[in-house]
Structure 1
């Protein structure tokens, strides 16, 4: 009947409206989704892939922040001994006058150093509070669990992207499909229509570049010569950067031996500032060098990422080697301090030291007690300072290099001798490779330093949150689309592969210090132990039955662990082969359908 058809049409329209509203609601619930869509419509998928990657890393750091804040910092602040009850929780007498100065706090010394922000503040009590919370065990497990969770998420995301990337695209009549099927006729908002128009225009530019690259003819011998020359220049830049870092680190060690109080601000922060400046200017040099190679923009981006990756990796491990040298110096100093503390206590007790003495007499102020060098806090401070200085350098670069440059070009173009917009200096393009590598290596520092500074994940969450808004604003207001717009791959697995490699390299120094380096004797939750991992054995000894300890020792035997590792490698290899087979089968299916 006619009435039934009318009723059915009304219901179908309501259902379609409900689906659109639900899709809009779902999109609105995704953080920064509309901002990223707007950037993608104006600048292409290559620029948008950076912001998608940033949002993904923001989610990872929220979880890491929740672990460290909820299971380490809050229990110590609420149930641990308060400030001033132990020497490790008290500012020394020599530092009291400047403990609250802004310059001292900005350097993460003074009162900030003797707080829950750093490793040295935590006590080695086995249990704290009325909950009998095992803080040393929680501290160790959170550090290990954060690394394990990061590995799991990165590998899972890579596997998911590889699976989603295998569907294949039908490239037949590409321009015709874009011309006649790109517009969404349900759009009713003028701003949305403008964004959609910009998105279609950008997709045509991407498709034109892809077609031009596929048909391009070039002089093979000249191209090879220019690419060899470009790689030579890149190698010289990397070698010069490595030597400069080595030279600056040696200078900083000399300054530390002579006393940093005798030097100014630049000498105290020289290593951090040089690393930040190299990370800011070297990508620009690599970008100029890449113009000689004449690669496809997507391939050029990967070469750029690889070179900056090598630059940052060399800088980071040079920095780590310097820290290891400083740790060894602190360990040697610790032996002398322990002897001096024994002599000091003997003098306090009139030449005869009672048995089981763990502290000075009550009449001695805790601020006057000699302290051993807490190398863990020193390492945590270095990573926090490096993270903060890198953040400040990045923001200043955006404000000066992008915003002020754009203002100058915009307002002085009318009264200048040449066209500033199309000549020098022109508007800036968004540096995809430099920003992606900056994110990856900053995350590597978070993974490496959060064991010694539980505040690092919180600092990184703030950094990523502000970076999203500041960089979105800078892109839309100060940057112009790339001259050669190209389409990014449907997954960010190239970014993920570098992130996984950095995660692996970041865990090596942490594992080395946990397994091989003795903890400081008078600071941190593992003080009094020969190695940090002994907290696991202590827990098994006191909290589990004897049969469980025997099973655990059996499972931790190298003869059991090695076959298990080999089995995991075999399973991972088989999994990768299955994904590749699925991708190839889907591509063959698409080719057969196109042929038919």
Structure 2
């Protein structure tokens, strides 16, 4: 060892003398290596951290200047003059050059800027990203912006730069980008999941509204039906949805049952039918109404499954188990952040994430004993019995009140006020019962905040789904679909519109009294610094409930997604302002790594699946109204598609393959069961693959631990032998 140390000192002396040789004019290739060390050993010694500390900006600029020159030579451009290599071995191995003053550094900077300008846009961006310089230095090296009439703009490279600029502009224009970062930094990932869920619902509703607007609403607005006697607008229609809004594009009853732009279909005047038209674009409105609704639900299902699979992949990543706390401590900071506001926001975000990790680690390391587990089990059974009893009582009340309101609705006196009673009762139940669930949760005293949120979500979900199921049964009952109501589809659309509006109003009241007024009482009256916490379970279930109402009402009120979009936009800003001013961070920090997956799953299976079953039963089994709507001449709504297929077969005998597809793939239920079986098989195989990967990773971790124990054993043996 002493020999090796003396040789190392000699090599260091040799390495230190090599700069002087290079400065004297010798090239690095002409230097003679040390006779006691090979070139590989010298390369390792040159790469040691002690030899590479202190690289100047001039050396870095020279390094990347040489790289850009090589890239330019690959592009068959004339290379610039060679720059002398560095003298220090650590820098010489990387083609670096030390600066010899401010003038030399500025010269290198100018040469590097010139070389960067000659590179294509993608290579220039990659080169700038790889440079170990600050963001300010990189901005000074960027190419200045070209003017509008510069000839460079009309070249291929100019179009590429314009495309990259547009992409960066779209990235910066993401909705609520800074707001989401601010919420994540101050309140953690659990509350952030609520606002991300709002953003996801906005995407779904925007797509639904766009496809209905283009193919159904716009076409009907271009060819309006015969005018009806509309009532005067009083303002109460904004809450009831009736009156002036009844005979508008908002509801099912306004849409026609004939082919648009076909004068013979809507007019009995034969002379008028014989007049030639300049442009004939027949548009079968019943078929378009049914087909667009089906396609929108199908595409929404694909988007939901894709979002669920992606969220599942992000939250249940294989191998993301143990070392996350160390990664957060040592590798979480982003050194590209230079603005003061962003630095403070990132530090706050990392602090919140560390609290979440520590809280989860503490919950794992403190299990309960047997006596406490039995006591908690008894409390859980009592709380679940009480919550299910409350759900049963609310369901009975809603059922009898809906039957009573339907019987009294035939009387004209007080009809407008009576329309709001059922939505008021349902919204009041959805507002007050979750607070009772919170009292039960306070009695249960769950140690894990994640389990507490899951239990609250389950109880609220049972309540809302039972109430919605009763309302769907009431809307499709024989009393509603009979001849007592002239257009029962419009009636159902108005009911759903009132429920959406009342849900939004009660959400605002809950935000005002449950957060703002409660914060004022705590601070002013009780003289406490504590503020109310943001109830994630209740707020998320309100979003799922509102989205379920929207999906249920798409067929009966095609413009209901527009109302939902406006509601979600207002909710985001109102909830964000209330969160920042009235709420505090969770008293028990916890990570919501799986919350987004749970939210998307609840949105897919209870909400979207229930709405799809309701609309499928309406299309296949319920008789439409005989006085309004696109399907008033058919026994069922599905008969319109069958009639169109028969007419197509008679008019075009060459399309028999389309008839075969309709008969064997759409009418036959075996194909649906086959697709469902394949989908379930794929899901099962993916689950098994993930479990297998986790098992392999566990075995590899055990093998690494065993190898570490082997090394400890060998070291102990070496110490024993050395002692002897």
TM-score by length of 1: 0.82
Query: Residue 515 of structure 1 corresponds to which residue in structure 2?
Result: 620
Match of 2:677 among 563, 570, 578: 570
Q: Distance in 2 between matches of 1:266 and 1:307?
A: 32
Q: Distance in 2 between matches of 1:254 and 1:77?
A: 37
Match of 2:334 among 184, 190, 212: 184
Match of 1:216 among 363, 366, 373: 366
Counterpart contact for 2:253–2:628, Cα < 8 Å:
yes
Counterpart contact for 1:42–1:198, Cα < 8 Å:
yes
After superposition, the Cα gap between the structure-2 partners of 1:569 and 1:109, relative to the gap in structure 1 and judged at 3 Å, is: closer
Query: Residue 553 of structure 2 corresponds to which residue in structure 1?
Result: 449
Counterpart contact for 2:427–2:502, Cα < 8 Å:
yes
Greater relative contact order, per chain length (Cα 8 Å cut-off, separation 6+): 1
> 5 Å matches for 1:158-557?
158-164=308-314, 165-169=316-320, 171-172=322-323, 174-259=324-409, 261-263=412-414, 267-291=418-442, 292-325=444-477, 328-333=478-483, 373-410=486-523, 412=524, 416=525, 418-422=526-530, 427-489=531-593, 492-501=596-605, 502-544=607-649, 545-546=652-653, 548-549=655-656, 552-553=659-660, 555-557=662-664
1:156 has 2:306 as partner: yes
Counterpart contact for 2:493–2:557, Cα < 8 Å:
yes
Q: Rg bigger for which structure?
A: 2
Counterpart contact for 1:428–1:479, Cα < 8 Å:
yes
Query: Residue 72 of structure 1 corresponds to which residue in structure 2?
Result: 216
Which runs of 5 or more residues in structure 1 are unaligned? 335-371
After superposition, the Cα gap between the structure-2 partners of 1:331 and 1:407, relative to the gap in structure 1 and judged at 3 Å, is: closer
After superposition, the Cα gap between the structure-2 partners of 1:321 and 1:565, relative to the gap in structure 1 and judged at 3 Å, is: closer
TM-score by length of 2: 0.69
After superposition, the Cα gap between the structure-2 partners of 1:448 and 1:581, relative to the gap in structure 1 and judged at 3 Å, is: same
For residues 216-262 of structure 1, give each alpha carbon's deviation from its aligned partner in whole angstroms, at most 9, with x where no partner exists: 13233333333443343333233334323432442343344234544
For residues 45-98 of structure 1, give each alpha carbon's deviation from its aligned partner in whole angstroms, at most 9, with x where no partner exists: 11111111211111011010011111111111112335x2xxxx333xxxx4xx
Counterpart contact for 2:402–2:474, Cα < 8 Å:
no
Q: What SS does the aligned partner of 2:397 have?
A: helix
Q: What SS does the aligned partner of 1:56 have?
A: helix
Cα RMSD (Å): 2.9
Deviates more, 1:131-140 or 1:262-271: 262-271
Counterpart contact for 1:377–1:453, Cα < 8 Å:
yes
Match of 2:687 among 573, 580, 594: 580
After superposition, the Cα gap between the structure-2 partners of 1:212 and 1:266, relative to the gap in structure 1 and judged at 3 Å, is: farther
> 5 Å matches for 1:99-110?
99-110=232-243
For residues 316-336 of structure 1, give each alpha carbon's deviation from its aligned partner in whole angstroms, at most 9, with x where no partner exists: 1122222233xx2244435xx
Q: Distance in 1 between matches of 2:257 and 2:462?
A: 40
Match of 2:289 among 127, 136, 139: 139
Query: Residue 203 of structure 2 corresponds to which residue in structure 1?
Result: 59
Counterpart contact for 2:190–2:595, Cα < 8 Å:
no
- Structure 1 residue 264, shift from structure 2 partner: 7.8
Q: Distance in 2 between matches of 1:552 and 1:579?
A: 36
Q: What SS does the aligned partner of 1:171 have?
A: coil
Counterpart contact for 2:252–2:493, Cα < 8 Å:
yes
Deviates more, 1:280-289 or 1:112-121: 280-289
After superposition, the Cα gap between the structure-2 partners of 1:273 and 1:220, relative to the gap in structure 1 and judged at 3 Å, is: farther
Counterpart contact for 1:28–1:34, Cα < 8 Å:
no
Which runs of 5 or more residues in structure 2 are unaligned? 1-26, 28-58, 68-108, 117-125, 143-163, 263-279, 708-724
Counterpart contact for 2:474–2:480, Cα < 8 Å:
no
Q: What SS does the aligned partner of 2:336 have?
A: coil
Match of 1:127 among 260, 281, 302: 260
Count of aligned residue pairs for this structure pair = 536
